[in-house]
Structure 1
Amino acid sequence: MHQTLPFLFVVVIVIVLVQMLAKKLNVAYPILVVVAGLLVSLIPSVPTLRLNPDWVFFVFLPPLLFDAAWSISFKGLKRWWRIIGSFSFLVVFFTATAVAFFANSFIPGFSLALGFLLGGIVSPPDAVSAGAIMKFVNIPKSTATILEGESLFNDASSLIIFRFAMIAVATGQFIWSEAIFSFSWMVLGGVGIGLLIGWIFMQAHKRLPMDAPSNIVFTLIEPFILYWVAEQVHSSGVMAVVTGGLFLANRRFRILNSEARIRGFSFWQSFVFLLNGVVFFVIGLDLKEVVEGLNKAGVSIGDGIFYGIIVTAFIIFIRIVASFIALFSTFLFRRSIIAPDFSFKKAWSTPLVLGWTGMRGVVSLAAACSIPVYLDDGTAFPQRELILFISFMVIILTLFVQGLTLPFILRRVKLNRMIKISEGEKSFETQLRRDLWQFSIKEIEKKYHHHIEGNVFLASALAKWQQKLDTVEEALVNAETKTVYLELLEAQRQFLIEKNKASHIEEEVIRKEITLIDIEEEKVKLL
């Protein structure tokens, strides 16, 4: 413990430093964190951090999915639910089936059941990887919503495939009736448990006299309880967490006050960053041990790399094919939502980008690591080390190849507008602000006009809103204006810091004023 604990502290420091470097290089940090883990594993006498799958499933996965559910647009989910559902379930099943037959045909010693096991592991794109990489690329909001929504739900379908494949490998048989019943219960039960427990927590947030810290603590324990309860009744913990998270996120403005939302956002941003960093670091750190296991199993590293490359190339190809199928299906069966200027000649880029964004990550890693060393009868689990190595290869190759090339691809191709959209995203944002200012002016003149006289604050607010309404958006907030204003806020901060040193004013008063400046700075950055 005295050796491992300092090493964990060093790991956290390394993750933070690597994230700084990734930001400077404009690269998604999970990619560099994996490299850092791999380099650290080469250092002699480094403590071994074996990734316990229970830790991933019960400690890492629930909060990561819960945070993703809070981050995604619920309106976007409803708008794109057909294509999200297709990618989350149909494409995952299609990919797993294709990988099963591919592995059975091209990898010696792989039965169809082992092929489905591998397919269940590598079929789901990762929410964490996709989210981290999409922050560094300019991608249309609709495409981003589809990718985020898909990665929320596909974990459940892939883990169901993985679970049934494990049974087939262990028992040598597969009963379709039981599988269909179990699948239905896992999905429907997970959704039902998520809604029920989400409703209970919503009532707790609304009715209990909570402050911001207690509200944040409740949001921290919610994903773990959702996952644990669902798993206790052999349902899908993933579906429960995602459903409960979406239920609560859609009601955040009714159950959390502004202080809890602001503080909670900062807390969850740091917490999720730490969880992501540790997971991806351990991926790189454990690769050395996976390679050693492959050698002990009598499989050459060259063969393992070859199988990893062909499986990775195959699942990328399958995903691109599935994306084109989704495009044609939408055109054939949902013509009412197709944009008038839609052209098949120009539309090839959209399914290509959708197909190229299938980075694998934490779920694939946890599923691979959860394969037991021995079957119930005491015999060694067939092809375990090779499956583990191929899974690691798929994760690393998709992160590096797709993650590093996606920004280049998006710069080179122009995504064709396929779905009807009335106006650009920026014009909606501008109009929304103007509507808000207009409403504010009418509201204060209608209900509080008698408070304006003699009230400098209200009069100033009214004048500010009127000035914004009368000013062209580009002239109001441009890059130069924003830079000057942020520099002014920084000068105000420095003034208060010096004031704190030179005066007898209580430091809490100074801190409160600096907090207000910080909030104002964040507001300006969002403009």
Structure 2
Amino acid sequence: MIHENLLLILVLFFTMAILYLLSQKLKISYPIFLVIGGLAISFIPAMPDIKIEPEMVFLLFLPPLLFEAAWYTSWQQFWKWRRSIMIMGFGLVLATSLGVALVSVAIIPFFTPALGFLLGGIISPPDAVAANSVLKGMSVPKRGLSILEGESLVNDAASLTVFRFALAAVLTGQFVLKEAAIDFFSLAVMGVFVGLVIAHILYLILRYWVKSSSITTPITLIAPYLMYIVAEQLEWSGVLAVVSGGLFLSFRSHDFLNYHTRIQATEVWATVGFLLNGFVFILIGLQLPSIVDGIKNQYTLQDAIYYSLIITLLVIVLRIVLVYGSAFIPRLLSKRIRQKEKSPGLKLPFMVGWAGMRGVVSLASALAIPLTLDNGEPFPHRNLILFITFVVILITLVFQGLTLPFIIKLLKLKVEEVDDFVPLDDQIEEIRLRLAKDSVAYLDDRYAEEMEEFETISRVKEQLLRSIEATERTMEEEEKREALSSVRKLYRNIMIELVALRRDGLHKLKLEKKYDDEVLRILEHNLDLEEARLNRH
């Protein structure tokens, strides 16, 4: 149990941080490094087992991870690519679950269709955290990233719903398709309803009542658990409640977050997300030896590996085939789609298909399988399902994750081929130009007399005008894009060096003990924000 291994868990959290730093040095995606690290740690002599009660897995890990994913989902991009996201989010989950069910029943003795769908629901959703970690810093089309993120949000809900119904069928021994379809519809609709109701209540509280930033962030941390628990208590979908509530609060966050709470919430959620994701990824490696021991009573290790490799190969190939189908079949059937959207080409679907690494949700679902049936008998094939899930995660995460960067380079995928491509720096300059012009107009309208009377106020306008002039001059020189790119890089490097210089200066001032620590901390925080902005790209 967790409370009996608290020191071990704290050591694991510290180990996660060390492994993360090593992954950054070696330029390897940190989920891959954590899984391998966890597996290595598990072979340390006298390493105790970490056991988590199955019913606690969903409650501890899923609500905040789903909420964080929903919070940082771009609603604009989600809506723009909604057709592809919905087809992949629901279609791929159902097709993968069906394919896994058929194959697993065919190759595994005494494996029932209900267990097959249970396994399919577990291993069908790819992990956006792993994919984003691998793709970070690489030049890939925004379209592909948006579809991967949106798909992950939708297929988490879809796969967990499949898992829920399949588990109920195994536990009760009954499954009626018509009743399941009705239950699924009511489960989904009412889950979304609960999430939106709670999100609206929290929105009103945060906007009109809470004025302290120290309260806003804790409320956002409580929100996913509140949505999930209330929906589950009412026997509706807690997953869809969290996703829908998270999307709503994210969309309206500008109404109740100021600059301070936004910075604070971002940092807190980044920490929470890393710790939860990291712990689950390292848990994948830690659990594998005990799972191997668990299957030996029913299967030989060779048979279990054989089943796992067949099913892993199936989900990899099936995903690639289905991604191509979802990309091109609607285009063949609809002239409007062909006119409205650029063709994804043959390269982008392969990249999206190969990025289908399994991770946190699959592990959480597998660990949530109860130990016994309702009648007290052991849950059939539980250890084998866990073993297959772990192998699928390991192979897709490690093999596909490590090879994905090389495949992208091999494909030579050009962003402008599939995106309405506008360079990020150009977008930033255009926005800054518009905001600067708005600021000048505002100063002329509200503070014309003050600018004439006070030199300090007039300098504000002068700075803005110089910025506008420089930006317009830069944007007009289209033929010098390559040179401008190098200038921007040089400018960024110089500014980062100046930030480091000023930070060293603050440290020297701190040693003089002449200024208040509070003042120095404020100035250091400003430098941190400036450096974060410069390192954004």
TM class, shorter-chain normalised?
over 0.9
2:179 equivalent in structure 1: 178
Deviation track 1:244-276 (CA, whole Å, cap 9, x = no partner) reads 011000111111111100111111111111111
Q: Unaligned stretches of 5+ in structure 2?
A: 476-483
The answer as to whether partners of 2:191 and 2:231 remain within 8 angstroms in 1 is yes
Structure 2 Cα separation of the partners of residues 112 and 403 of structure 1: 31
Residues 53-452 of structure 1: pairs in structure 2 closer than 5 A: 53-297=54-298, 299-338=299-338, 347-415=345-413, 421=420, 423-452=422-451
1:42 equivalent in structure 2: 43
The answer as to whether partners of 1:187 and 1:239 remain within 8 angstroms in 2 is yes
Which shifted more, 469-478 or 313-322? 469-478
Cα RMSD between the aligned structures? Answer: 2.3
**CA distance change for structure 1 residues 373 and 159 in 2, over 3 Å: closer, same or farther?**
same
1:450 Cα offset (Å): 2.4
**CA distance change for structure 1 residues 420 and 266 in 2, over 3 Å: closer, same or farther?**
closer
**CA distance change for structure 1 residues 243 and 340 in 2, over 3 Å: closer, same or farther?**
closer
Which shifted more, 379-388 or 458-467? 458-467
Q: Which runs of 4+ in 1 moved over 6 A?
A: none
1:515 Cα offset (Å): 1.6
TM-score, normalised relative to structure 1: 0.94
| Residue identity opposite 1:388 in structure 2 | L
**CA distance change for structure 1 residues 490 and 460 in 2, over 3 Å: closer, same or farther?**
farther
**CA distance change for structure 1 residues 343 and 512 in 2, over 3 Å: closer, same or farther?**
closer
**CA distance change for structure 1 residues 449 and 20 in 2, over 3 Å: closer, same or farther?**
same
Count of matched residue positions in the alignment of Structure 1 and Structure 2: 524
1:516 equivalent in structure 2: 526
1:497 Cα offset (Å): 2.1
**CA distance change for structure 1 residues 325 and 211 in 2, over 3 Å: closer, same or farther?**
same
1:452 Cα offset (Å): 2.4
1:526 Cα offset (Å): 3.2
SS in 1 for 2:378: coil
**CA distance change for structure 1 residues 524 and 459 in 2, over 3 Å: closer, same or farther?**
farther
Which shifted more, 89-98 or 99-108? 99-108
1:432 Cα offset (Å): 2.1
**CA distance change for structure 1 residues 455 and 300 in 2, over 3 Å: closer, same or farther?**
farther
1:506 equivalent in structure 2: 516
The answer as to whether partners of 2:141 and 2:419 remain within 8 angstroms in 1 is no
Structure 2 Cα separation of the partners of residues 194 and 235 of structure 1: 10
Structure 2 Cα separation of the partners of residues 267 and 65 of structure 1: 16
| Residue identity opposite 2:230 in structure 1 | V
The answer as to whether partners of 1:338 and 1:420 remain within 8 angstroms in 2 is no
**CA distance change for structure 1 residues 209 and 92 in 2, over 3 Å: closer, same or farther?**
closer
**CA distance change for structure 1 residues 516 and 372 in 2, over 3 Å: closer, same or farther?**
closer
Deviation track 1:302-333 (CA, whole Å, cap 9, x = no partner) reads 21112111111101111111111111223124
Structure 1 Cα separation of the partners of residues 226 and 280 of structure 2: 21
| Residue identity opposite 1:314 in structure 2 | L
| Residue identity opposite 2:462 in structure 1 | A
TM-score, normalised relative to structure 2: 0.92
1:389 Cα offset (Å): 0.5
| 1:486 aligned to which of 472, 481, 496 | 496
Structure 1 Cα separation of the partners of residues 290 and 323 of structure 2: 36
**CA distance change for structure 1 residues 421 and 7 in 2, over 3 Å: closer, same or farther?**
same
Structure 2 Cα separation of the partners of residues 422 and 362 of structure 1: 32
The answer as to whether partners of 2:210 and 2:216 remain within 8 angstroms in 1 is no
Structure 2 Cα separation of the partners of residues 420 and 330 of structure 1: 18
Which shifted more, 164-173 or 94-103? 164-173
| Residue identity opposite 1:391 in structure 2 | T
Which shifted more, 173-182 or 162-171? 162-171
1:352 Cα offset (Å): 0.9
Structure 2 Cα separation of the partners of residues 126 and 525 of structure 1: 26
| Residue identity opposite 2:87 in structure 1 | S
SS in 2 for 1:296: coil
Structure 2 Cα separation of the partners of residues 475 and 30 of structure 1: 32
Structure 2 Cα separation of the partners of residues 478 and 291 of structure 1: 53
Structure 2 Cα separation of the partners of residues 460 and 24 of structure 1: 45
**CA distance change for structure 1 residues 353 and 455 in 2, over 3 Å: closer, same or farther?**
farther
Q: Percent identity?
A: 38
| Residue identity opposite 2:375 in structure 1 | D
1:418 Cα offset (Å): 6.9
Q: Unaligned stretches of 5+ in structure 1?
A: none
**CA distance change for structure 1 residues 170 and 431 in 2, over 3 Å: closer, same or farther?**
same
Deviation track 1:346-369 (CA, whole Å, cap 9, x = no partner) reads x11121111111111122112212
Structure 1 Cα separation of the partners of residues 504 and 455 of structure 2: 26
1:459 equivalent in structure 2: 458
